[in-house]
Copies of this chain bind each other. A is one copy, B any other.
Amino acid sequence: MALLSPSRRLRRTVFSQGVEAAGVKAYTVYNHMLLPTIFRSVEEDYHHLKSEVQVWDVSVERQIELKGPDAARLMQMLTPRDLREMSEGQCYYVPIVDETGGMLNDPVAVKINDEHWWVSIADSDLLFWIKGIANGWRLDVLVDEPDVSPLAVQGPKSEDLMADVFGDEVRSIRFFKFKRLEFNGQPFIVARSGYSKQGGFEIYVEGDKNAMPLWNALFEAGKKHNVHAGCPNLIERIEGGLLSYGNDMTDDNTPHECGLGKFCDTNDALGCVGRDALLRVAKEGPTQLIRAIDISGPEVGICDRWWPIMVNGKKVGRVSSAAYSPDFGTNVAVGMVRMTHWDDDTSVQVVTNDGPRDALVKEKFWI
């Protein structure tokens, strides 16, 4: 692995001090900010995440704030998901599309109230698109990046740890809902959500004053739960079929291709700028789909570029993320496969950096 040159442009977070003290070994860069990728090792972090509880600095999930009379209208212009039934205190996973239906981001929208939204973004400057749309359409809304840094608590013991710090009310928060809970006399938005399949919460930390005190309180209370610093885990997220924008999908892809058709209520999402293009896609169906790919043989190397998926010398797709799964004893991967070969158990070859491997296309991810 190469070294990463630090600079102000690759922003530190309000928790960086804690992350460094916990022995972070490697980073990626996400939304112009440092995101830890390894603490002990990807494998050790993986086993611990699936059995214990971890605290993740996911400040890189930058917030975009929409505030004003046109906030709800703007939010609906951004996504083909029908937001009319969304209530205050609810979170929605929302594909964001451009006028051609191409994915610009796949954030979680947090509805504080009709005139006040947070959008918790994946890795692209979605702020620029939203500001451009708001300006061009002359909407009465302020769009900005507020100083909010999400902190995730993930893993099977996360509810117990969170209850120790925020009280038993956390237990009553349902999946993709949030409540305002107090720590140190300050209210925090606490949602049951997170980028793992192990259960957990995300705490939206405003400013930096409470950041390290909260981090320290979680680690203090977490001693008896065997807490450790962690981060989104490559193996676990592939097993669970959690997609990564920029890896598994780009602005070339429609939500339908990414298996996100269920979030496209294109007939009802009136005002979505990509509606016309997506109505066409919904009519014809996608010609390629995100699939789980089971790659045979020993541990594959790091998937640092798209690996072609081949059948009889013809390219039928590409793998975008891959890792060896100790629990499933195979190489788990995410790929985009053409309709000619997307059926369950179709045999294909994946051209890794070390040469071709036999693989199977799977309709379901591992968990």
Contact = CB atoms under 8 A, between A and B. Distances in A.
Interface of A: 1-10, 12, 24-29, 32, 37-38, 98-99, 104, 123-138, 244-247, 273, 302-306, 320-321
Contacts of A5: 1, 26-28, 37-38
Contacts of A135: 98-99, 132-133, 136, 273
Nearest to A42: B5
B6 A3 contact: no
12 contacts: A1-B4, A3-B3, A8-B306, A9-B244, A9-B245, A9-B247, A128-B128, A129-B129, A129-B131, A134-B136, A135-B136, A136-B138
Nearest to A102: B131
A300 B28 CA distance: 25
A128 to B, nearest CB: 4
Contacts of A7: 28, 244, 247, 302-304, 321
Nearest to A125: B125
A32 B246 contact: yes
A247 B9 CA distance: 5
Contact of A321 (B8, B124, B138): B8
The 3 closest A-B pairs by CB, nearest first: A136-B136, A132-B132, A9-B246
